[in-house]
Amino acid sequence: MVKKINATHERLPAADEAATIDNVAQMAGVSPATVSRVINNRPVVSETTRRRVLEAIAHLNYQPSALGRNLAIRRTGTLGLIIADITNPFYAEIVRGIEETAFTHGLNILLYDTLEDAEREAQILSLLEERQTDGLIICASCLPEQRLLPLMQVGIPTVLINHLPLSASIGTVETDQEAGIRAAMQHLVDLGHRRIAYIGGITTAQVYQRRLATFRATCAEAGISIPENYIVPAKPTLDGGREAARHLLPTGSKVEPPERASYPTAILAYNDLVAIGAIIEAQEAGLTVPEQLSIVGYDNIPLAALLHPSLTTVQQPARILGEQAIHLIATYLQLQKLPEGRPTFMRFTPTLIVRASTAPVVLSSS
């Protein structure tokens, strides 16, 4: 019907293959450049041309290829997200905040779950170096600083969640780890506890180190000396918590009166999952929580309020951490430079939420 418009060897695409910008251009009788202008809503195109192009697009059921586009503009609209454990409700909530905010910015999220494993995290990082994401969010890294830096130096704009600022990053959003631990410890000390254990956490992770350091510092300030075996690192999961607690608590029913016992009267857990694991283990060992053992968690996951006993814990604004991380990175992507000339450090203050898993220590017994 319609004769070839140009003397090109262009042909229309077979029914099963996708139309390209050239097909559209040919059909509309314009150049690919013009089609590109229409697709991207450049204002310069005349109304009639625009209409012709749009018709051709509709006719061919044309979808611009992100692949071609990405290569041409050398951006992908995609962010890498490295998260420690998606099944931990605290992280899931952060991801929710990230996802939702990224969507409004037109950014896509490539998800990587490290399973709280440092080696795996390292693998993922090196994989990401070639994936050309526009940016990277690392949430609760288990890696030491010197393994994080190379990636940023390769030029991927990175935001860290719950980490201290790194010179090569574009910023950090965190809750004040020190304040969180201090609040929890103050609470336990006020309740009269002096035999306090710290359980759970990956030793290579900066969060862990900071929390532990603060734990030690607070103990020292309160004149409490902590035996080394009261510090039990473990995977920050329910099972990790159980395992750690098992090392500390009396087995079977040989529960001693608190003043003579060797086990702690209180446990500060790395996070809520660990705390819950410890509660379960304690109960199975025949200890009542909080009467014989107080337990404090960290994060305030939704589950914390629903348990029996409900969990005393340190609340972090999970969703907001995620949202702000995206805002940071989106701002950077727009400006192509650090807004303040140096990495942003955004810090929130956590809140201690006192519930039913902590109680005054009872030293004299009935």
> Strands of 196-199's sheet, edge to edge?
231-232, 196-199, 266-269, 294-299, 312-315, 351-353
Cα dihedral 169, 171, 175, 176 in deg (nearest 10): 80
- Could you say whether residue 219 binds DNA (CB under 7 A)? no
- Could you say whether residue 26 binds DNA (CB under 7 A)? no
- Could you say whether residue 71 binds DNA (CB under 7 A)? yes
> Smaller CB distance to DNA: residue 41 or 366?
41
Strand partners, 255: none
Largest CA distance in the chain: 102
- Could you say whether residue 65 binds DNA (CB under 7 A)? yes
Strand partners, 311: none
- Could you say whether residue 334 binds DNA (CB under 7 A)? no
* Nearest approach, Cβ of residue 85 and a second copy (Å): 8
Convert 138-153 to b/e letters by CB count within 10 Å (16 or more is b).
bbbbbbeeeebbebbe
129 binds, options DNA, a second copy, none, Cβ within 5 to 8 A by partner type: a second copy
Using the contact rule CB under 7 A, the part of the chain among 64-72, 134-142, 232-240, 355-363 near DNA is 64-72
Give SS3 for 302: coil
Taking 3-state DSSP, the helix, strand and coil percentages for the chain, each rounded to the nearest 5, stand at: 40, 15, 45
* Nearest approach, Cβ of residue 76 and DNA (Å): 12
- Can you give the binding site for a second copy, defined by CB under 8 A? 16, 18, 61, 63-68, 70-71, 74, 76, 78, 81, 86-87, 89, 92-93, 95-96, 99-100, 103, 108-113, 115, 129-132, 154-155, 238, 276, 280, 302-303, 306-308
The CA distance from 43 to 289, in Å, is 68
Considering only CA atoms, give the Rg of the chain: 28
Among 48, 61, 146, 366, binds DNA (CB under 7 A): 48
* DSSP single-letter state for residue 234: B
- Could you say whether residue 36 binds DNA (CB under 7 A)? yes
Among 31, 209, 283, 331, binds DNA (CB under 7 A): 31
> Smaller CB distance to DNA: residue 58 or 111?
58
> Smaller CB distance to a second copy: residue 78 or 344?
78
Among 33, 111, 305, 363, binds DNA (CB under 7 A): 33
| CB 237 within 8 Å of CB 276 | no
